[in-house]
């Protein structure tokens, strides 16, 4: 177990969850993926996020992922775990499991399925905070949960010490910047952007780091981008980001044959397989799988990005 | 276990899940609620729906609800069980549990949290159909899951025998009617509306029945409405519907202090408590609870509707 | 000029605006369309609605349409005119023109393009009411203007005598029914549904009438539906509605080659041309025009509906 | 008339339209506002944009604004004019008027009110391009017109020479960056961001300039931001942007008493009045007007931003 450093920041990829052909967690592949990330020097790993297909895993499979991650990381960097579910009682169960298995911090969204008010979102975070003694990151992702965590809600949760950081995947960069202006000066609070195509901008604004799905495939690229920004070399940061931006096209390789979710997960997993990190590019059911032509387009994109 | 009658239809209320003060399932209250429904002559019961706060229950609590329902109903009418979760693997687990515990049919939505295509929605229903040998009802509720099950998807699933019926809570009455025009003639397929304020209309169009949340409180009212429609007495059906329409105002008793979800569930549970059916009006966390003034407004509404 | 009868109701089709090949108003065709409607016995006509492609007409062309309508109708039934524009000053100009040209009542939406509050919607209706001495109908069509006129706003405008009726094209039948329950008893207030596929239901609920785009093509069908409902013969009303429901498929004849707007307008105009009422099926720019195969499908639909 | 420079870029504020107490264009105030902008050294001015309340002006008033702008600017910088309306015929009329009155370039949105396809959006731009011999800027603002101009549509219109630039107010910075990556290298094409809170980021990405509503009040601030970015001093650019970011709070001064539109326009106009540039802070009908307390909060914000 690695306590979060007070100034926790940097590149924290949301790891894909590799599958076996029978849709079980491919433990050996997951271990290789984690080693691949650690070798690149990432500042933490985030398992069971949206990119990790948490929505597609049974509770047992989720537990396996955390176990493998905690064991493989071995305290070198913090392990963050997603505890996504509809409402409080279910989320608390996931939180307690993740804590027992050794996660260092937890990431949770607003409740979903049910239509919820901001005061109830706040209550949800409070109840999880009280129930489990681990740092919480609020994950704002209205595209998945249909509700935005309002700026005022975020700020109050941060002030009250209920959350220790934010992962912003809302796509609303102006609001993220407003959060940074209000909270960015706090030494013990970490704001991560999930906008993996605008990381140079987010770092210019003062973000502590990024949680890039594309970082699964090219953690070294995101590390270079981060280090350039740290060094104030914004043109270098921009060039690295632009290379990664173009590579990101692989997320739409399966459209419109399938949803954007399975296309993106399929694109990431295919790239990881082609780079020799994981064994299959299978995505969780009921996702449609990429076909040979789509796989070939991912291969070409990797070659263009100097990753193959 | 009660096999579904071929011409399954009528009033099938989606039962509330009563809670104890410690947020556990209140078994005695649930038993009383079921007896109350059976006494009114309902044609089936549906547990673990949106009104049943399935989103707020742990897996263990969901199992308790099914057990109590199957035992209390004792085969008098079919017991339908919701198996709501994000994607296939998780839903199949719920389906297998529900089957083992004796549910007669299963109700499932499109996948959620992830952004999904129509072909993947179709695949989802197919995989659940193959995994568990029980009749499936497709539950169209875009307000909860963000995705509409398209008309073409529904029709193909019906034609292929993957689903045995539909519960339409989409609010898109024209599309529901299109489904009725296409499928309403089939003897072995049941179309239920979840639009509890427009039941007379749905029955006029040819719907087989209704799944009214408000039926928790006044199953006898919905039975009279159904019987009037069966008898072709549309003015009587309309009058009954209008009385119930006005009563439905209790769903907004908590607005805007809380979300519409907790306001509605709180309104229903308060009415059930005031009518002496269940012991508390507690709703699932993180819902805000109704206050004394709001409870009083529910009481007045019940008096106006001749239910107290 | 025909004053609105106090109990104004019935079938009031929103007339298509026929075009010449150079995209001008085809006056002779418009006259024939109006005669065709009057011959069927409609209770009023509504020009410059969404179906009338008001959004596609210059101010001059709009004036031509009103002039032709007022002259051709000759006071036999009321002529309602749409005065759609973004905000008050522009709408008032349209209102004054329509009044000068002899319209009997005006139909207006919530402001659009700008993001507006309910109190500003209310102010908008008040300002138009004060500026022009004609009965106003509030047209609720969030699919076009992005804003719903809230129930409370509607009820207050009705109570205050600012509006004299409602055209509901919101697709939210439960809310329309709530308006009917609150206002339906008033002798001098008229509630029209724009949900042309659910007219039997709306009349069962107590609506005063319908504004059916499909009524352009088959006003006699809607008249039979209305008369059956008036006579309490709901099964006959339903059968007529179901025939019209199936005919309505022509609105999607151009999908997905074009938008639903141009597909629907193209379908209506093609049917009117095939029935010999208007000279071309041209729709307003930048709409894509139907091709020969799509025209053929409209022809087949007309044959199936016994209209050719 | 000032021909657009090939490398047109920089700060091009979308000018407010000052009103007299009787809701007419306040010509003297508009002249002062333009002089104020020119004195700050802006690279162009944009009249009749969303901030210019084009939606609230009659055609006559719109003409007045262009006349005043063209006369006052006197060819010192380009004058861009908005030609917002629902569809092609109406937009072409505005375009022809603007050309006749001396505008240097035109800014237009996707069609609105009607539901339109991408191919029809493309057709719309083509038809306006053919009808009027002036450079066109495509204005992507789905919050106003409900439709996004898709990336592919934009790229094809740019390639075909139909549009000469883009104003992106979509809030989708990743998509804007994709447009920049595809088009940013072209010397004769200009990409402007409307995201006035993220200008440093947009310039880092390679945007040619910005169209900041807030630039009405503090054009000198945006000029400093632009010049810092041109000089590669990103920390200075950021600090200037952060000061302007905080000042931007004045857009919500009227919430929730009114809509965000009238609150923002009221905030801008109040600031302009307090700075002595325009005579009243009146916004177009049916907007609610700011009250004394709200005006006072704008004054405090100006003091904090060192503008009073």
What would the pLDDT profile of D97-117 be if each residue is shown by its tens digit? 999 999 999 999 999 999 999
Total domains in chain B come to 1
D222 labelled catalytic? no
Please state, in angstroms and rounded to a whole number, the distance separating the CA atoms of residues D234 and A231: 12
Q: Is A24 within 8 Å of chain B by CB?
A: no
Quick check: A94 and A70 in contact, CB under 8 A? no
Q: How many CA atoms lie within 13 A of B156 on its CB side?
A: 12
**Inter-chain contacts counted by CB atoms under 8 A, chains A and B:** 147
Residue A184 falls within a domain, yes or no?
yes
Please state, in angstroms and rounded to a whole number, the distance separating the CA atoms of residues A210 and A43: 10
What residues contact residue B263 under an 8 Å CB cut-off, 6+ apart?
B251, B252, B253, B254, B255, B257, B290
For residues C260-287, average pLDDT: 98
Question: Which runs of E-coded beta strand occur in B71-230?
Answer: 79-82, 105-109, 136-140, 165-168, 190-193, 209-210
Q: Which pLDDT value is given to residue A1? A: 56
pLDDT at C300 over 60: yes
Quick check: D115 and C258 in contact, CB under 8 A? no
Neighbours of chain C (3+ CB pairs under 8 A): B, D
Sign of CA dihedral A41, A42, A44, A46: negative
Do C181 and B246 make contact, defined as CB atoms within 8 angstroms?
A: yes
Read off the pLDDT of residues A143-169 as tens digits, 9 standing for 90 and up. 999 999 999 999 999 999 999 999 999
Residue A295 falls within a domain, yes or no?
no
Identity of the residue in B177, B198, B242 whose CB atom sits nearest the CB atom of C181: B242
**Residues of C labelled as active-site residues:** 139, 167
Q: Is B171 within 8 Å of chain C by CB?
A: yes
Neighbours of chain D (3+ CB pairs under 8 A): A, C
C51 among annotated binding-site residues: yes
Do A89 and B50 make contact, defined as CB atoms within 8 angstroms?
A: no
Q: Is C89 within 8 Å of chain D by CB?
A: yes
* DSSP codes joined into one string, A67-129: HHHHHHHTTSS-EEEE---SSHHHHHHHHHHHHHTT-SEEEEE---SS---HHHHHHHHHHHH
* DSSP codes joined into one string, B75-87: TSS-EEEE---SS
Question: Which runs of E-coded beta strand occur in B76-172?
Answer: 79-82, 105-109, 136-140, 165-168
Beta bridge partners of C137: C107, C165
Q: Is A23 within 8 Å of chain D by CB?
A: no
Quick check: C197 and B174 in contact, CB under 8 A? yes
Residue C207 falls within a domain, yes or no?
yes
Q: Is B142 within 8 Å of chain C by CB?
A: no
**Cα-based torsion angle of the residue sequence A122, A125, A127, A130 in order, rounded to the nearest 10 degrees:** -130
Strand-strand pairing, D165-168 and D79-82:
unpaired
Q: Which pLDDT value is given to residue C108? A: 98
Do B259 and A123 make contact, defined as CB atoms within 8 angstroms?
A: no
Average pLDDT of chain D is: 97
Chains A and C touch (3+ CB pairs under 8 A): no
Neighbours of B157 (CB within 10 A): 21
Rounded to the nearest angstrom, the minimum Cα separation between B253 and chain A is: 14
The pLDDT-based confidence of C104 (bands split at 50, 70, 90) is very high
Q: Is A242 within 8 Å of chain D by CB?
A: yes
Residue B269 falls within a domain, yes or no?
no
Strand-strand pairing, D136-140 and D165-168:
parallel
D56 lies in which domain range?
Answer: 5-235
The pLDDT-based confidence of A2 (bands split at 50, 70, 90) is low
Identity of the residue in A87, A257, A260 whose CB atom sits nearest the CB atom of B115: A260
Quick check: B281 and B296 in contact, CB under 8 A? no
- How would you write the pLDDT of chain B (308 residues) with one tens digit per residue? 568 999 999 999 999 999 999 999 999 999 999 999 999 999 999 999 999 999 999 999 999 999 999 999 999 999 999 999 999 999 999 999 999 999 999 999 999 999 999 999 999 999 999 999 999 999 999 999 999 999 999 999 999 999 999 999 999 999 999 999 999 889 899 999 999 999 999 999 999 999 999 999 999 999 999 999 999 999 999 999 999 999 999 999 999 999 999 999 999 999 999 999 999 999 999 999 999 999 999 999 999 999 99
D51 among annotated binding-site residues: yes
Average pLDDT of chain C is: 97
Do C177 and B198 make contact, defined as CB atoms within 8 angstroms?
A: yes
Q: Tokens 């709001």 belong to which residue? A: B294
* Closest of C163, C176, C242 to residue C210, by C-alpha: C176
Quick check: D188 and D161 in contact, CB under 8 A? no
For residues A187-201, average pLDDT: 97
Quick check: A51 and A267 in contact, CB under 8 A? no
**Residues of A labelled as active-site residues:** 139, 167
- SS3 category, A14: strand
Rg (CA), chain D: 18
Read off the pLDDT of residues C125-170 as tens digits, 9 standing for 90 and up. 999 999 999 999 999 999 999 999 999 999 999 999 999 999 999 9
The CATH number linked to D195 is 3.20.20.70
* Closest of A161, A166, A173 to residue A201, by C-alpha: A173
Q: Which pLDDT value is given to residue C270? A: 98
Instruction: Retrieve residue A17's tokens.
Output: 């969850």
pLDDT at D3 over 90: no
The conformational region for residue A113 under phi > 0 = left, psi -120 to 50 = alpha, else beta, is left
Sign of CA dihedral D177, D182, D187, D188: negative
Residue B181 falls within a domain, yes or no?
yes
Do D88 and C120 make contact, defined as CB atoms within 8 angstroms?
A: no
What residues contact residue B220 under an 8 Å CB cut-off, 6+ apart?
B40, B41
Burial B122-148 (b: 16+ CB within 10 A, else e): bbbbbbbbebbebbbbbbbbbbbbbbb
Quick check: A87 and A125 in contact, CB under 8 A? no
Sign of CA dihedral B212, B216, B217, B218: positive
Exactly one of B139, B148, B226, B269 is catalytic; name it. B139
Indicate the length of chain D as a whole number.
Answer: 308
* Closest of A86, A50, A48, A75 to residue A64, by C-alpha: A48
Instruction: Retrieve residue C302's tokens.
Output: 């007309």
Please state, in angstroms and rounded to a whole number, the distance separating the CA atoms of residues D96 and D79: 15
For residues C100-108, average pLDDT: 98
What residues contact residue B180 under an 8 Å CB cut-off, 6+ apart?
B191, B205, B206, B207
Read off the pLDDT of residues C50-67 as tens digits, 9 standing for 90 and up. 999 999 999 999 999 999
Exactly one of D167, D222, D226, D273 is catalytic; name it. D167
- SS3 category, B194: coil
Please state, in angstroms and rounded to a whole number, the distance separating the CA atoms of residues D133 and D232: 37
Residue B265 falls within a domain, yes or no?
no
Q: Which pLDDT value is given to residue A185? A: 82
- SS3 category, D182: helix
What residues contact residue D276 under an 8 Å CB cut-off, 6+ apart?
none
Residue D225 falls within a domain, yes or no?
yes
Neighbours of C257 (CB within 10 A): 15
Q: Which pLDDT value is given to residue B153? A: 98
Residue C264 falls within a domain, yes or no?
no
DSSP state of C14: B
Q: Which pLDDT value is given to residue C29? A: 98
């Amino acid at each position: 177990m690695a306590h979060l450093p007070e100034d926790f920041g940097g590149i924290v990829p949301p790891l894909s969850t590799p599958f076996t052909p029978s849709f079980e967690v491919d433990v050996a592949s997951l271990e290789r993926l984690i080693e691949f990330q650690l070798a690149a020097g990432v500042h933490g790993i985030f398992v069971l996020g949206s990119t990790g297909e948490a929505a597609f895993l049974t509770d047992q499979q989720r537990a396996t992922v955390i176990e493998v991650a905690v064991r493989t990381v071995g305290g070198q960097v913090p392990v963050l775990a997603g505890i996504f579910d509809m409402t409080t009682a279910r989320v608390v169960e996931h939180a307690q499991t993740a804590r027992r298995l050794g996660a260092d911090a937890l990431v949770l969204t607003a409740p979903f399925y049910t239509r919820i008010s901001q005061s109830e979102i706040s209550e949800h975070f409070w109840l999880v905070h009280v129930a489990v003694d681990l740092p919480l990151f609020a994950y704002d992702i209205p595209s998945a949960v249909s509700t935005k965590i309002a700026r005022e809600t975020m700020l109050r949760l941060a002030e009250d010490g209920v959350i220790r950081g934010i992962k912003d995947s809302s796509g609303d960069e102006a609001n993220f910047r407003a959060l940074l202006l209000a909270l960015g000066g706090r030494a013990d609070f970490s704001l991560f952007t999930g906008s993996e195509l605008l990381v140079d901008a987010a770092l210019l604004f003062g973000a502590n780091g990024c949680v890039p799905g594309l970082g699964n495939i090219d953690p070294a690229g995101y590390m270079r981008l981060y280090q350039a920004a740290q060094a104030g070399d914004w043109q270098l940061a921009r060039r690295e980001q632009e290379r990664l931006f173009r590579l990101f096209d692989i997320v739409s390789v399966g459209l419109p044959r399938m949803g954007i979710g399975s296309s993106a997960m399929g694109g990431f997993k295919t790239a990881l397989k082609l780079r020799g990190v994981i064994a299959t590019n299978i995505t969780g059911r009921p996702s449609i799988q990429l076909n040979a032509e789509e796989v070939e387009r991912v291969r070409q994109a990797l070659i263009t990005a100097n990753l193959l």
